[in-house]
Homo-oligomer: A and B are copies of this chain.
Amino acid sequence: MAAASGASEQKIGTSESAQDLDDLPDMLEAKLWENPCPFTFRINYLALLYNTPLYSWIQDTYGLKRHEYVVIYSLALANGGSARDISRTSGFPKNTLSRAVKRLELMGLLEERSKAPGGGRRQALRLSEKGWKLFNETVPVFESYEERMLTPLSKGERQILFELMSKVVVGAEDWADDLPQAGAKGSTRNTKGETQ
């Protein structure tokens, strides 16, 4: 709760305050404390703060783009997964992933795709030795960044946060499909936005 700043109808009384001092725009205050969607704003904002530096580090260090690294990460957690799985869990469209996979193969980070584990025409993707090495080198950085993010919370608070977020995610299975009104042609879902 709490209404912190005085944005909205600001008549520019005395303030314009932190604008340049601390570099934090009033707008951030407004988005944090007067937002009709405070939860999702925090979600999005934290995702921004977390992802941006990490993926730009990955880019600079390993020359991998975000969706390429996402493939690595995904396979590290579920080796033998398919492009479709990665698409579903990350939000990247399948053609983007197709290219990513191709490039990773070329770089020798994936093993040759074995034919099909699950259903239809699915291809099982697996990390190569080199792919695992890359993953093992990089996870600690991601982990420590998450750790860093959670610094303000005690052990117990983290546990609670984890449980609450899990509840929300698990519950999401219900609503995650019916849009406001029309789903219309929305056949294949994923249309934007990404996940690690």
Residues of chain A having any CB pair with chain B under 8 Å:
1, 7-10, 12, 16, 19-20, 24-28, 30-32, 34-57, 60, 66, 74, 77-82, 84-86, 88-91, 117-119, 139, 141-143, 145-146, 148-153, 157-158, 160-162, 164-176, 179-182, 184, 186, 189-196
Contacts and interface: CB of A to CB of B under 8 A. Distances in A.
Contact of A37 (B38, B146, B174): B146
A32 B169 contact: yes
Given A49-B172, A52-B192, A151-B175, A78 B27 contact: yes
Given A25-B84, A27-B74, A32-B166, A46 B43 contact: yes
Number of copies of this chain in the oligomer?
Answer: 2
Given A12-B117, A89-B27, A145 B180 contact: yes
